[in-house]
Amino acid sequence: MSNASQSDTTRPGTTVLTGAEIIWATLEGEGVREVFGYPGGAILPAYDALRKFPIRHILVRHEQGAAHMADGYARASGRVGVAIATSGPGATNLVTGIATAMLDSVPIVCITGQVSSKVLGSDAFQEVDITGITLPVTKHNYVVTRAEDVAPTLREAFRVAQSGRPGPVLVDITKDAQQGTAAFDFTAAAPKPYRPHPMLRAESAAITDAAALIRNAKRPLILAGHGIIKSGAYDQVRTLAERMQIPVASTLLGLGAFPATHPLSLGMMGMHGEAWVNHAIQQADLLIACGMRFDDRVTGTLATYAPNAKKIHIEIDPAEINKNVKADIALIGDLRQVLEVLLPHISTVNESPWLRAVNEMKGSASVRDIKNIPDSGHLYAAHVMHDLWRITEGKAVVATDVGQHQMWEAQYYKHNEPRSLITSGGLGTMGFALPSAIGAKVACPEKEVWAIAGDGGFQMTACELSTIAQENLDLNIAIINNGFLGMVRQWQEFFYEKNYASSPILSPDFVKLAEAHGIPGATVTTRKQVEAAVAAARSRKGPFLINFLVEKEDSVYPMIPAGAALHEMIRRPEHDPLLETASDS
Partner 1 sequence: MMHTFIALVEDKPGVLTRVASLFRRLNVNIVSLTVGRSERIGVSRMTIVADASPTASHRIMASLYKLENVLDVDDVGQASCVVRELALIKVAATPKTRSHIFELAEVFRARIVDLAPESLMIEITGVESKIEGLLQVLNESEDRILEVSRTGRMVMRRGQHTSRVLDAMRVPATEANQAEEEDPDASTALMAEESGL
Q: Mind telling me the catalytic residues?
A: 63, 125-126, 175, 487
**Which residue's CB is nearer to partner 1, number 165 or number 226?**
165
- First and final C-alpha spacing in the chain: 65
Report the C-alpha gap between 585 and 569 in whole angstroms: 11
Contact with partner 1 (CB under 8 A): which of 100, 105, 131, 134? 131
SS3 170: strand
What is the C-alpha separation between 498 and 482, in angstroms, rounded?
Answer: 16
Q: Candidates 140, 146, 345, 571: give the one binding partner 1 (CB under 8 A).
A: 140
Buried b / exposed e across 365-392, counting CB within 10 Å, b at 16+?
bbebebeebeeeeebbbbbbbbbbbbbb
Stretch that binds partner 1, among 283-291, 301-309, 314-322, 564-572 (CB under 8 A): 314-322
The number of angstroms, rounded, from the C-alpha of 35 to the middle of its chain's C-alpha atoms is 18
Specify the residue, 89 or 196, whose C-beta has the smaller distance to partner 1.
196
CB of 288 to partner 1, least distance (A): 18
Q: Minimal distance in Å, beta carbon 196 to partner 1?
A: 5
Contact between 135 and partner 1 per CB under 8 A: yes
Write the CB contacts of 50 (distance below 8 Å, at least 6 apart in sequence): 24, 57
Site string for partner 1, 327-366 (x = CB under 8 A): -----xxx--xx--x-------------------------
> In this chain, which of 322, 347, 472, 585 binds partner 1, going by CB under 8 A?
322
Total number of residues that touch partner 1 (CB under 8 A): 28
Q: Note whether 334 and 231 are within 8 A (CB).
A: yes
Hey, which bits of 161-228 come out as E strands?
169-174, 181-184, 220-224
Minimum distance of partner 1 from residue 64's CB (angstroms)? 23
Task: Select 273 or 333, whichever has its Cβ closest to partner 1.
Answer: 333
Within 147-176, which residues bind partner 1 (CB under 8 A)?
Answer: 160, 165
Point out which span in 127-135, 244-252, 470-478, 575-583 binds partner 1 (CB under 8 A).
127-135
Single out the segment in contact with partner 1 by CB under 8 A; choices: 315-323, 381-389, 461-469, 497-505. 315-323
The piece of 93-101, 128-136, 389-397, 490-498 that touches partner 1 (CB under 8 A) is 128-136
Question: Which region among 36-44, 89-97, 135-143, 530-538 touches partner 1 (by CB under 8 A)?
Answer: 135-143
Selected binder of partner 1 within 52, 79, 146, 201 (CB under 8 A): 201
Q: Note if the bond before 259 is cis, omega within 30 degrees.
A: no
Q: Which is nearer to partner 1, 197 or 243 (CB)?
A: 197
Smallest separation, CB 144 to partner 1 (Å): 13
- CA-nearest of 81, 80, 78, 83 to 66 is 83
Task: Tell me the C-alpha distance between 99 and 105, whole Å.
Answer: 10
- Minimum CB separation of residue 581 from partner 1 in Å reads 37
For position 200 contacting partner 1 by CB under 8 A, the verdict is yes
Which of 12, 31, 121, 198 touches partner 1 by CB under 8 A? 198
Q: State in angstroms the smallest separation of the CB of 202 from partner 1.
A: 6
Q: Provide, rounded to whole angstroms, the least separation between the CB of residue 182 and partner 1.
A: 20
How far apart, in Å, are the Cα atoms of 50 and each of 28, 30, 46, 179?
11, 16, 6, 13
Judge residue 491's burial from the number of C-beta atoms within 10 Å of its C-beta, 0-12 exposed, 13-18 middle, 19 or more buried.
Answer: middle
Q: Which of 321, 357, 370, 391 touches partner 1 by CB under 8 A?
A: 321
Does 242 interact with partner 1 (rule: CB under 8 A)?
no
Amino acid at 28: E
Question: Among residues 16, 74, 202, 566, which is the contact residue for partner 1, using CB under 8 A?
Answer: 202
Q: Residues with Cβ < 8 Å from 337, sequence gap 6 or more?
A: 231
Cβ pair 26, 189 in contact under 8 A: yes
Residue 99 binds partner 1, judged by CB under 8 A: no
3-state secondary structure 224-238: ECHHHHHHCCHHHHH
Nearer to partner 1, 233 or 266 (CB): 233
- The DSSP result for 255-283, as a single string, is BTTB-TTSTTEEEE-STT--HHHHHHHHH
CA-CA distance, 267 to 255, in Å (whole number)?
Answer: 8
Task: Report the residue number, 34 or 295, with the smaller CB distance to partner 1.
Answer: 295
Query: With respect to partner 1, which residue has the nearer C-beta, 52 or 197?
Result: 197
Nearer to partner 1, 134 or 299 (CB): 134
State which residue, 149 or 448, has the beta carbon closest to partner 1.
Answer: 149
The residue within the footprint of partner 1, chosen from 48, 317, 328, 551 (CB under 8 A), is 317
For position 373 contacting partner 1 by CB under 8 A, the verdict is no
Query: 10 Å Cβ neighbour count for 191?
Result: 15
Helix, strand, coil tally for the chain in percent (to 5) = 40, 15, 45
Q: Which is nearer to partner 1, 112 or 547 (CB)?
A: 112
DSSP 426: S
Handedness of CA 413, 417, 418, 420 (dihedral sign): negative
Shortest distance in whole angstroms from residue 139 CB to partner 1: 7
> Cα angle at 190 between 150 and 233, to 5 degrees?
115
- What is the closest distance, in whole angstroms, from the C-beta atom of residue 200 to partner 1 in the complex? 4
What is the distance between the alpha carbons of residues 187 and 13, in angstroms, rounded to a whole number? 8
- Check residue 136 for interaction with partner 1 (CB under 8 A): yes
| Given 57, 75, 139, 447, the residue binding partner 1 (CB under 8 A) | 139
Q: Which is nearer to partner 1, 8 or 235 (CB)?
A: 235
Cβ within 8 Å of residue 521, ≥6 positions away? 477, 510, 511, 514, 515, 544, 545, 546, 547
Q: Which stretch binds partner 1 (CB under 8 A): 146-154, 172-180, 199-207, 465-473?
A: 199-207
Q: What is the smallest separation between the CB atom of 100 and partner 1, expressed in angstroms?
A: 18
Closest CA to 389 of 397, 401, 378: 397
- Segment holding 15, helix H or strand E: strand 15-18
User: Does 199 help bind partner 1 (rule: CB under 8 A)?
Assistant: yes
| Binding region for partner 1 (CB under 8 A) | 131-132, 135-136, 139-140, 160, 165, 195-202, 317-319, 321-323, 332-334, 337-338, 341
